[in-house]
Amino acid sequence: MPHRRTTFSKFIIEDSRRTGAGGAELAALLNDVQTACKFIAVAVARGAMNEAIAATATNVHGETQKPLDVISNEIMLRTCEYGGQLCGMVSEEMEEPYRLPQGQPRGRYLLVFDPLDGSSNIDVNMTVGTIFSVLLAPPGVADPTAGDFLQPGTAQVAAGYALYGPVSMLVITLGNGVHGFTLDREIGAYMLTHPDMRIPPQTREFAINASNERFWEPPVRRYVEECIAGKTGPRGADFNMRWIASMVAEVHRIMIRGGLFMYPRDTRDTSKPGRLRLLYEANPMAMLVEQAGGAASTARQRMLEVMPTTIHQRVPVVLGSSEEVERLVRYHEAYDRGESLVFDSPLFNTRSLFRVT
């Protein structure tokens, strides 16, 4: 019976009592975020019935921007700006931080988000999502500058994603575990369906865009080649590979059954240390993954400890089942120590020379 289930609103109000002071303000902010995600879920679900869905433009980073990117960004701003809990927002779709309208009551939180992640999948009806992160503004700040958003992931007070797939879901952490909610469209409420989500420490599934192989650093190539070698290689087990090109969908799969997601630094453009953004993609996902018992790293540093230098900074991302993240980090450490890595498997002596001495 739906009324016996816990709604998202009930969950965050009860959690706010756990966190005490300021909890009610955070609960009110997250309630606005969930409302925005419902609006976006409806807009996404209308698909080609959205009049302007076909047109494309270019965002501030020169990336293809779909109308739903713009619509979703607008929904997040309009739905979250008026509640009085925020004093500023940063979005992937805007070059500068969003300044609240003059006279609008300000609160102590900052909201950073990617309003529609994976939007290159919109036209082909694949799963997309919204990623968000909540930070505290520095004391006394009413109109934050970009510098006020430059906080490490450990400073996040909440993080989550909305998933617009076959089922619309909202997955969130307030620093006390990870909890999943399914949108009941009859009631118009997200209902608690996945309490205390946990990521298994081991996995036989990895996700990477293999078309970038020629640009990968040797430790990444070693890791992937060992997985592909399967039972015949050093891992002694077969692996499966996935790549949806929608981070929210990849992370949700890992939340449900484990796995390793990689978007590593590559040599294609050394001015870009990766494709994904630290503040509103890597950090919220890293908080969720760690809270679910997984691990998240740049492959050389714990993701949540990276000190941001710009609000749209890119970062290499490795996250998921802890034992696989730790293995890949060890491979990078060996490489950075100058150890040449070689496979003992005859399969690889012809394909790549990595020797662990």
Phi-psi group of 238: left, alpha or beta (phi > 0 → left; psi -120 to 50 → alpha; rest → beta)? beta
Q: What is the CA radius of gyration of the chain?
A: 21
What's the DSSP call for residue 223?
H
241 binds ligand AFP (CB under 6 A): no
State whether residue 117 is helix, strand or coil: strand
- The total of other beta-carbon atoms located within 10 Å of residue 261's CB is 27
303 binds ligand AFP (CB under 6 A): no
| 28 or 41: CB nearest ligand AFP | 41
245 binds ligand AFP (CB under 6 A): yes
Two structure tokens written together for 231: 């039972």
Question: Contacts with ligand AFP: how many residues (CB under 6 A)?
Answer: 12
91 binds ligand AFP (CB under 6 A): no
The strand pair at 205-207 and 260-263 is best described as: parallel
**Dihedral angle sign, alpha carbons of residues 137, 138, 142, 145:** negative
Site map 61..90 versus ligand AFP, x via CB under 6 A: --x---------------------------
CB of 295 to ligand AFP, least distance (A): 18
Contact pick of 43, 220, 247, 287 for ligand AFP (by CB under 6 A): 247
119 binds ligand AFP (CB under 6 A): yes
Residues in 265-284 that interact with ligand AFP by CB under 6 A: 275-276
148 binds ligand AFP (CB under 6 A): no
Contact 328, 223 (CB under 8 A): yes
Contact 279, 313 (CB under 8 A): yes
CB of 36 to ligand AFP, least distance (A): 18
Q: Which stretch binds ligand AFP (CB under 6 A): 9-17, 31-39, 115-123, 150-158?
A: 115-123
Two structure tokens written together for 70: 């713009």
Two structure tokens written together for 156: 């996040």
168 binds ligand AFP (CB under 6 A): no
Contact pick of 6, 9, 19, 120 for ligand AFP (by CB under 6 A): 120
One-character DSSP codes across 50-111:
STTTT--EE-TTS-EE-HHHHHHHHHHHHHHSSSSSEEEEEETT-SSPBPPPTTPPP-SEEE
Contact pick of 72, 246, 297, 298 for ligand AFP (by CB under 6 A): 246
220 binds ligand AFP (CB under 6 A): no
313 binds ligand AFP (CB under 6 A): no
What's the DSSP call for residue 22?
T
118 binds ligand AFP (CB under 6 A): yes
Q: Which stretch binds ligand AFP (CB under 6 A): 154-162, 178-186, 223-231, 241-249?
A: 241-249
Chain positions contacting ligand AFP, by CB under 6 A: 63, 117-120, 209, 245-247, 263, 275-276
